[in-house]
Structure 1
Amino acid sequence: MRSFHVIANPLSGGGRAVHIARDVAANLGDAGGTVRITFSPGIEVAESLIRDTAAAGEICVLVGGDGMVSSMAGPLHKYDLVAAIVPGGRGNDFARQLAIPENIHDATRLAVGGVETKVDAIEAEGRVVVGSVYAGVDARVSELVNAGAGRLPSAAQYQLASVRGLLQFSPRHYRVQVDDETFDYRGFTAIAANSGYYGKGMHIAPDADVRDGLLDVVMVGAGNRLKFVRSLPQLYRGTHVRNPEVSVVRGRTVRIEAEGVEAYADGDPLASAPVTARVLPGALRLLLNR
């Protein structure tokens, strides 16, 4: 008989994760497992939760969004604990990259019968995160989304915040070092991406692979604001990388410098630029589809 520890962020998805966690626990119990649930009060207890889960020999089942998964990534890596993810947040972009089903029951089945798979993570400014580190207009968008959480449907939050962010953010001079190469440009942002998605389905790094041991670095140069607003649908298709203002390179270590810019990681504040991100190959053991 397998034992599971369901850890949920009670604030994810506007509180929806609470109901999801209870459904997940019921499904795991029906499958013959022993289950306990913890509603995490915050990142400050992440390590103790994962340490106790590892000591108990339990499989960790995370219920929440990108920020919640990211908050647990460091302890999961430290204690080398296998985990499953059930999407329960606003964006769920890391789950989207991993092809984890949105359906609760289908996602829960991965905790029971999924294939253990090693995937990469990112170490940035002393934290381990899973999706991407970004510094620019997209950080402003994350700030706006966080400030307006719960007031609009999640899809509308990101779309409205993206337009507002583009209209408010002034292009900066960026210096981005990727391994031994340096890129200087005036632009809107720089992204060090492990996962291809952010911002609730924006395919910012369409060729990113969480198992290749590399970060896809997307650099967006300055251009006409109105053109950028009109081209927002391209971000969801991943076709924005064809535009002349956008450059993509790959590397293992990325340093982003830009004056007066706050960097975010997986939807949460990280640090003021400059920031350095490096890939952690195979850092996480996750239960995924075959």
Structure 2
Amino acid sequence: MLRVTADDHLPGPVAVLTNPTAGRGRHRGLLPRLLDGLAAAGRPIRLLSASSPVEAETACRAAVAEGAGALVAVGGDGTVHRAVQAVAGTDVPFGPVPAGTGNDFALDTGFPADPLAAVAVIADALRAGRSRPVDLARMTDTDGVHRWYGAVLAAGFDAIVNERANRMRWPRGPRRYDLAIVVELARLRPRRYTLRLDGVPHEVDAVLVAVGNCPTYGGGMRICPDADPTDGLLDVVVAGRVDRLTLVRVKPRIYQGTHVDHPLVSSYRARTVELAAEGIVTYADGERSLGLPVTITAVPGALRLLL
């Protein structure tokens, strides 16, 4: 259960990162109303400018360094992921406004699905000086590079599909991802993973490994159905030597979280997860992230939510 803290939020302006292309632009026309809703909290609003994910992250870091009193991200999980890099482990409270195709972190941590309703919740928290701490996952590669994520790290078939889709120039839109699934299903094979869960080693042959701070990814798929972003732990779900037909049959069950009952699916829970395999680039919150091997650690209370 989330713990509520009442405090004097930092006095600077509320920095707002927006992604007008999130959710294929369907909420773009709402932006003036969303900004008005935030301004109703009686705090100055600073709209951040960015034309790429890298620029978005840089703008958020700069705003925090310059004394922002809070950070709000209007978009999907990708926009939230970029913003979280700037506020993780700081005293700057954060509010995600779900306006993307996938809004898993915002919904899993208790924000309304409607963007205007989410802004009303954030504005109320700003007025009251209220925030609630939640955990984040911090991953580090062998070069010491680290990234934070809030929802789920994908390190198997799902990550491989994303990697292929991102390399494709045709077709555009969702069909590119569908084609990438078809191509990678034809190439499906288990890979050898080395897992160390709180220091205990496991060698597994698997087609999918997910490490969740929250239950869902990919727009509502409950890949780690029992994950709780307030328990100080990470949930690890491993699909073992699954063939193509079984994977296609089991995939619909991920939306209900019942895939974990399949005999070839194993679940674990740990504070620290060391994960290694050849040729895998991970995807965290749906964003391309670090290549394996990585060490992932649950960091309790690393983020303060305006909730």
Residue from 76, 80, 85 that aligns with 2:96:
85
Residue from 246, 252, 256 that aligns with 1:237:
256
* Distance in 2 of aligned mates of 1:161 and 1:23: 38
- 1:109-132 Cα deviation digits (max 9, x unpaired): 111124511011111121112112
CA pair 145-196 structure 1, distance change in 2 beyond 3 A: farther
Amino acid at match of 1:66: D
1:143 maps onto 2:158 in alignment: no
CA pair 158-232 structure 1, distance change in 2 beyond 3 A: farther
Shift of 1:198: 0.7
Structure 1 residue aligned with 2:227: 208
Structure 1 residue aligned with 2:81: 70
1:37 maps onto 2:47 in alignment: yes
Residue from 264, 273, 297 that aligns with 1:278:
297
- Say if 1:10 and 1:40, in contact at 8 Å, map to a contact too: no
* Larger strand percent: 1
1:113 maps onto 2:124 in alignment: yes
CA pair 6-21 structure 1, distance change in 2 beyond 3 A: farther
Amino acid at match of 2:189: S
RMSD of the alignment, in Å? 2.7
Residue from 204, 210, 215 that aligns with 1:185:
204
Amino acid at match of 2:34: V
Amino acid at match of 1:123: R
* Distance in 2 of aligned mates of 1:80 and 1:40: 24
Shift of 1:37: 1.8
Shift of 1:43: 3.0
CA pair 187-121 structure 1, distance change in 2 beyond 3 A: same
Instruction: Name whichever of 239-248 and 74-83 sits farther off.
Output: 74-83
SS at 1:278's partner residue?
A: strand
Shift of 1:266: 1.4
- 1:196-230 Cα deviation digits (max 9, x unpaired): 10111110011100000000011110123112102
- Say if 2:90 and 2:303, in contact at 8 Å, map to a contact too: no
- TM-score, normalising length from structure 1? 0.87
Structure 2 residue aligned with 1:130: 150
- What is the count of residue pairs matched by the alignment? 286
SS at 1:201's partner residue?
A: coil
SS at 2:216's partner residue?
A: coil
* Distance in 1 of aligned mates of 2:297 and 2:78: 19
- TM-score, normalising length from structure 2? 0.82
CA pair 175-56 structure 1, distance change in 2 beyond 3 A: closer
- 1:132-172 Cα deviation digits (max 9, x unpaired): 2221101023335555899446xx87677556543433211
Residue from 258, 276, 279 that aligns with 1:257:
276
- Say if 1:50 and 1:75, in contact at 8 Å, map to a contact too: yes
CA pair 136-223 structure 1, distance change in 2 beyond 3 A: same
Amino acid at match of 2:261: R
Shift of 1:177: 1.0
Unaligned runs of 5+ in 2: 1-10, 141-145
- Say if 2:242 and 2:264, in contact at 8 Å, map to a contact too: yes
* Distance in 1 of aligned mates of 2:22 and 2:210: 24
CA pair 26-157 structure 1, distance change in 2 beyond 3 A: farther
CA pair 165-102 structure 1, distance change in 2 beyond 3 A: farther
